[in-house]
C-alpha cells in the first residue's frame, strides 16, 4: 500500500461541461445537478466507497486521511449566463495582425496537429481560449497596442470580446508579471483576458461550460477532508487548493516546509483538522 495515493475522476468534469439540452450541467443557479452531473456524482461516490471498503478490509481505514477536491470548477454553472459568440478574441487579434492573420498558429501550424511534435512555426503568436484568453503575441513589443485594441472592443457583440463587466479584466505588463512571471521568459502569456462570467470563446455545440479562467465558478470548489475521529463540520474559512499539499505532509508528520513552494509562499496547512 503506498503512503500517498491519488486519482482523478474526469466523469464529473465531462458531465458539467456537457450541453444543458443533453442533460449536462446544472438545472439552475443553485447548482441543482442535471441528469449527467447527478449520475457522475453517484459514480464518484461509489468509487470512493469501494476504496473505503477495501481499506477497512485491510485494517488501514483508521490510519487513512481522505481529501476530496477539484483542481477547477466549470463556468458558467448557471446556464442562463452562457454566452457563446465564437472565438471573437482570436478573430480580433488576427484581424489586427497581432496573431498570424490566417490563423496559422498553434496546432494549425504543425505537421501532425499536435503542439508537441516539434514542427510548429515561430513568429506566429498563439492564443489559448476557453472561458479565458491567454495570448502570446507575434511581436511582444506590441503589447500596449494590442491591449488598446482589446479595450476598444470590450462589448459583448458579434465582434467584441465580451469583457465589459465588473468582473472582467485585461492583464498585462507589470501587473501580469507580478502574478505569473515575466512574459520575456517565454512561458507566461503577454496578455490574459478574463471575459464576463459565463462567456466561452467558442461556438462549439458539444459543451456549455469551460474552465481555465478566474470566473467565480472556476475557483469556488468543494473541498472535503475526512479521517476517523474527525467530527463533521463546515469550515467557512477562505482557503486555497494549494494548501492541500502541505496538509498531506503534516498528516504524515513530515515538515511541510520541505516543499519549495511552501517555503517560498508561506502556504499554510488547512485549518481545523487537528494536525
Q: Is the pLDDT of residue 120 over 90?
A: no
Q: Is the pLDDT of residue 265 over 80?
A: yes
What's the whole-number mean pLDDT along residues 141-149?
A: 98
pLDDT at position 108: 76
Considering the entire predicted model, what is its pTM? 0.88
pLDDT at position 107: 74
Q: Is the pLDDT of residue 121 over 90?
A: no
Percent of the chain with pLDDT over 70: 100
| More confident call, 120 vs 241 | 241
Query: How far is 257 from 264, CA to CA, in rounded Å?
Result: 9
- What values do phi and psi take at 16, rounded to 5? -65, -35
pLDDT at position 117: 76
Query: How far is 131 from 193, CA to CA, in rounded Å?
Result: 9
3-state class (DSSP) for residue 133: strand
Q: Is the pLDDT of residue 37 over 90?
A: yes
The chain-wide mean pLDDT, for the chain, equals 94
pLDDT at position 150: 98
pLDDT at position 233: 94
Query: How far is 208 from 199, CA to CA, in rounded Å?
Result: 10
pLDDT at position 131: 94
Query: How far is 120 from 129, CA to CA, in rounded Å?
Result: 19
Q: Is the pLDDT of residue 13 over 80?
A: yes
Q: Is the pLDDT of residue 81 over 80?
A: yes
pLDDT at position 15: 97
pLDDT at position 251: 96
Amino acid at each position: 500500500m503506498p503512503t500517498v495515493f491519488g486519482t482523478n475522476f474526469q466523469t464529473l468534469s465531462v458531465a458539467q461541461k456537457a450541453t444543458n439540452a443533453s442533460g449536462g450541467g446544472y438545472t439552475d443557479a443553485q447548482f441543482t445537478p442535471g441528469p449527467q452531473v447527478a449520475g457522475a456524482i453517484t459514480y464518484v461516490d461509489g468509487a470512493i466507497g469501494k476504496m473505503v471498503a477495501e481499506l477497512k478490509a485491510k485494517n488501514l481505514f483508521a490510519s487513512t486521511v481522505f481529501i476530496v477536491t477539484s483542481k477547477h470548477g466549470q463556468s458558467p454553472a448557471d446556464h442562463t449566463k452562457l454566452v457563446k459568440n465564437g472565438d471573437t478574441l482570436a478573430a480580433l487579434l488576427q484581424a489586427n495582425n497581432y496573431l498570424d492573420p490566417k490563423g496559422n498558429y498553434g496546432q494549425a501550424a504543425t505537421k501532425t496537429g499536435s503542439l508537441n511534435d516539434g514542427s510548429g512555426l515561430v513568429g506566429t503568436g498563439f492564443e489559448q481560449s476557453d472561458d479565458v484568453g491567454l495570448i502570446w503575441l507575434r511581436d511582444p513589443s506590441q503589447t500596449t497596442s494590442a491591449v488598446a485594441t482589446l479595450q476598444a472592443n470590450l462589448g459583448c457583440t458579434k465582434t467584441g470580446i465580451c469583457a465589459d463587466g465588473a468582473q472582467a479584466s485585461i492583464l498585462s505588463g507589470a501587473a501580469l508579471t507580478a502574478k505569473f512571471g515575466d512574459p520575456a521568459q517565454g512561458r507566461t502569456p503577454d496578455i490574459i483576458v478574463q471575459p464576463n462570467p459565463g462567456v466561452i470563446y467558442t461556438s462549439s455545440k458539444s459543451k456549455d461550460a469551460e474552465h481555465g479562467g478566474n470566473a467565480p465558478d472556476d475557483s469556488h470548489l468543494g473541498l472535503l477532508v475526512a479521517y476517523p475521529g474527525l467530527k463533521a463540520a463546515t469550515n467557512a474559512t477562505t482557503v486555497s487548493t494549494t494548501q492541500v499539499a502541505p496538509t498531506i505532509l503534516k498528516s504524515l508528520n513530515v515538515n511541510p516546509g520541505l516543499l519549495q513552494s511552501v517555503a517560498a509562499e508561506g502556504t499554510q496547512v488547512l485549518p481545523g483538522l487537528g494536525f
